[in-house]
Homo-oligomer: A and B are copies of this chain.
Amino acid sequence: MHQEPTHEITNQSEDRRKFLKNLSVMGGAAATSAIAMKGLEAKDAAAQSEPGVPAWPWAYAELDPTLTQEKGYLAYSEGGCCYGAFKATVGHLAETYGAPFTNIPVDMMRYGGGGVASWGTLCGALNGSCAAIQLVCNAATATKLINELMAWYCSTELPTYIPAGKDPTITTVSNSPLCHASVSKWCMVAGKGVTSPERKERCGRLTGEVAKKAVELLNAEFKSQFVAEHSPGASVTECMQCHGSTAFNNVLGKMECVSCHEPHSAVENWLKR
């Protein structure tokens, strides 16, 4: 990925030379593209600052999954699940490798806690991890890794992570990437309140474990060793035969259908008319 600046780049300031040198050290994708550099040149002129932002996607470098998990668990108590997962990945990259990851304030992802300001939508540990994946992967690669992460989350007993000096906790399979479903199911199985310290401990561990999984997927991808092992639930395949892009063509999604819908309820309701 290392490449000398082309003849199209002229009148470089000292700052720009430092920027290009840094890009080269980082193996940044922008270093391969004169067009991307010209784009940045225009932005620099507009902003008159910050030369150290390479073109997206940023070059990934390997992280330690075990350390990622611990960082995610600890960061959960600072700013919630989405912040925790993003700090354990992008913040971890910044701590380990510095620029350009130091450019993004990890606090930006605080909003995702509790499925966005406690609305119970998308699990924040997934939201923060997916943002990290997308930062360092192009669209097609990110979709591939995110599909795996989401499907793994929905079908896996979580959390299995046991922080040092602590006891195991109840694990559940969420069957859903939604905070509301994931948390409520755990609360019912564990017999613990949603506001209990045990539930928060569960979400902290899950934050670490999801971030770890994301890093494992990234490490595998960047060593060309990624193999998909998980798929959306069986009901998705079955229901989307009609509701997907053929026949009814009226449903967008890969979430387990029967988490919210009765099997074939629509057909049954239609037959009752």
Task: Give A89-146 interface residues, CB cut-off 8 Å to B.
Answer: 94-95, 98-100, 102-105, 107-112, 114-122, 126-127, 130-131, 133-135, 139, 142-143, 146
Interchain Cβ contacts under 8 Å between A and B, 21 examples? A18-B49, A49-B99, A50-B50, A55-B105, A111-B130, A111-B143, A112-B130, A115-B253, A117-B147, A118-B254, A119-B253, A119-B255, A120-B255, A122-B122, A122-B127, A178-B178, A183-B252, A184-B251, A187-B249, A194-B245, A194-B251
Contact B177 A121 (CB under 8 A): yes
Q: Report the separation of the CA atoms of residues A127 and B147 in the bound assembly, to the nearest whole angstrom.
A: 18
Task: Give A165-219 interface residues, CB cut-off 8 Å to B.
Answer: 177-180, 183-184, 187-188, 193-196
Contact B116 A194 (CB under 8 A): no
Query: Which bucket holds chain A's interface residue count?
Result: 35 or more
- CB of A57 to closest CB in B, whole Å: 7
Is A267 part of the contact surface with B, judged by Cβ < 8 Å?
no
User: Which of B19, B107, B122, B143 contacts A121, CB < 8 Å?
Assistant: B122
Task: Give A50-70 interface residues, CB cut-off 8 Å to B.
Answer: 50, 52-53, 55-58
Beyond A117-B150, A254-B119, is A46–B245 a contact (Cβ under 8 Å)? no
Contact A131 B108 (CB under 8 A): yes
Q: Which residues of chain B have C-beta atoms less than 8 A from A119's C-beta?
A: 150, 177, 232, 253-255
Q: Which residues of chain B have C-beta atoms less than 8 A from A234's C-beta?
A: none
Q: Which residues of chain B have C-beta atoms less than 8 A from A183's C-beta?
A: 252
Beyond A47-B102, A48-B98, A177-B116, is A56–B252 a contact (Cβ under 8 Å)? no
Q: Which residues of chain B have C-beta atoms less than 8 A from A245's C-beta?
A: 193-195
Most B CB contacts (10 A, CB to CB) among A120, A135, A232, A250 go to: A250
